[in-house]
C-alpha cells in the first residue's frame, strides 16, 4: 500500500486532530458560549471526556446550524458550522486515541 509507513503515526494524528479541534472550539466558540466551549476545548486538547465533549458540542453546533439556516437560507451561509459539527461527530466515533487522559 502506498504510504503505509505512516500507519505508525496514527495515534499522533489523532492527537493532532484533537488538539486542532480543541483550539478551534476555544477560538471560534469563545464569543458565543464562553463557559462551555472554552472548558470543552481545553478538555478536548487534554483528552478528558473526549466523547462527551464531542457529542455535546456537535449537537450544539447542529442546533446552531439549523437555526442559522432558518434566518439565512442557502448552503453557503452555514458551511462553517456544518463542517465543525461533522468533524466533531467524526472525532466522537474515532475516540480520544492513545495519547489522552481518557484511556478508551
pLDDT tens for 32-91 read 655 677 888 889 999 999 999 999 989 988 888 888 777 777 666 677 888 888 999 999
Residue 31 pLDDT more than 70? no
Name which residue leads in pLDDT, 4 or 27: 4
**CA distances in angstroms from 26 to 6, 10, 34, 93, 97, listed in the order given:** 29, 24, 8, 21, 20
Give CA–CA dist 73/57, Å, rounded. Answer: 23
**pLDDT confidence band for 15 (50 / 70 / 90):** very high
Question: Which triple of cell numbers denotes residue 104?
Answer: 478508551
Give CA–CA dist 80/93, Å, rounded. Answer: 20
Amino acid at each position: 500500500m502506498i504510504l503505509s509507513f505512516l500507519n505508525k503515526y496514527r495515534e499522533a494524528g489523532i492527537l493532532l486532530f484533537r488538539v486542532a479541534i480543541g483550539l478551534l472550539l476555544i477560538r471560534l466558540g469563545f464569543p458565543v458560549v464562553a463557559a462551555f466551549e472554552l472548558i470543552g476545548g481545553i478538555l478536548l486538547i487534554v483528552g478528558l471526556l473526549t466523547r462527551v465533549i464531542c457529542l455535546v458540542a456537535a449537537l450544539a453546533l447542529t442546533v446552531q446550524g439549523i437555526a442559522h439556516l432558518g434566518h439565512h437560507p442557502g448552503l453557503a451561509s452555514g458551511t462553517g458550522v456544518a463542517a465543525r459539527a461533522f468533524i466533531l461527530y467524526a472525532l466522537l466515533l474515532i475516540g480520544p486515541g492513545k495519547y489522552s487522559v481518557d484511556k478508551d
